[in-house]
Amino acid sequence: MMRVPYETMVDEFNRVLVKKGFTPERAKAAAEIFAQNSLAGVYSHGLNRFPRVVEYLEKGEIDPEIVATCELQLGAMERWDGHRGFGPLNAKLAMDRACALAKEYGIGIVALGNNNHWMRGGSYGFQAADQGCIGICWSNTCPNMPAWGGKDKKIGNNPIIFAVPRSNRQHVVIDCAVSQFSYGKIEDCRLKGQQLPVPGGYDTAGNLTTDPAEIEKTWRVLPMGYWKDSGISIALDLIATVLSNGNSVHTIGTFDDEVGLTQIMIAIDPAKANSAELTDQIVNSILEDIKASEPVEEGGKVLYPGEPEALNIQENLEKGIPVVEEKWNQVLAM
């Protein structure tokens, strides 16, 4: 397996983004977001996604200079317009603002419309937790999943994130699409020649399959909770579109590419009610009980959400980040 040092990956991403029109400061910030995703083991939204974003930049779908702006202030809630700028930087700005509102009001909500793909939603959960806030955020997508009982793609695999802070910065963060697997994860498994651990979609014969290449032929992915997450997907899209007056999944599907997405950032400051020590005590006691579970496999471990990323970061900083050579060579050639 080929591995690349974190700093090398940041430098290469930064080099390409500067050439594609980013200012040096914004290029470095964006490069770090992509590299940190791969560092945490979320390769589908790091290196593997980078060439697609560059393609959007070259097509003019993303303007690297545009910054999101606040359009409406309603106390603890604000509505922002992303102006189809660079998704991750706009999303980071929106979550920072939600945290600032939470520090003032106890809760902060920023509805960000007309943005572009935010890459890895978990980034903004960790961002909120680093500021001592509980973070809840989600994004809609293009229509890429059938509603339960349907065959054609009408709903999004809208990713949702929940984050709970700990003062030792070993935060609890769950980041998941409402499909069984994200599109990026399906691609990552295909590139590595791996099967999915459980069925993730349908093949051309209409049968459930673990073969990522077969799912990519139909792109008929499976909602992770069957009818339940089909309903959750619809609700997330409705709430996001109502709060932002942005684009719904249906509207995004009328565009040539997956652009103009709608995202919701919610931050809650537990320090308004609890001391940091009390919050830690509550969180730690729950996690200790979960980690005391009897593992299914002998010698196995039960991990809390966010713990695998922490372990990946430690290993990848020491050994370098594993890369798909085809994707890495694409970046080097840019």
Catalytic machinery residues: 45
- CA–CA separation, 311 vs 41, rounded Å? 9
Q: Where are the alpha helices (DSSP H) in the chain?
A: 6-19, 24-39, 50-59, 87-105, 122-130, 183-191, 212-218, 227-244, 249-252, 276-291, 307-319, 325-332
Residue 242 has a CB neighbour count (10 Å cut-off) of 12
- CA–CA separation, 311 vs 306, rounded Å? 9
- CA–CA separation, 63 vs 81, rounded Å? 14
Buried b vs exposed e over 22-51: b needs ≥16 C-beta within 10 Å? beeebbbbbbbbbbbbbbbbbbbbbbbbbe
Q: Which residue has the tokens 């930087």?
A: 89
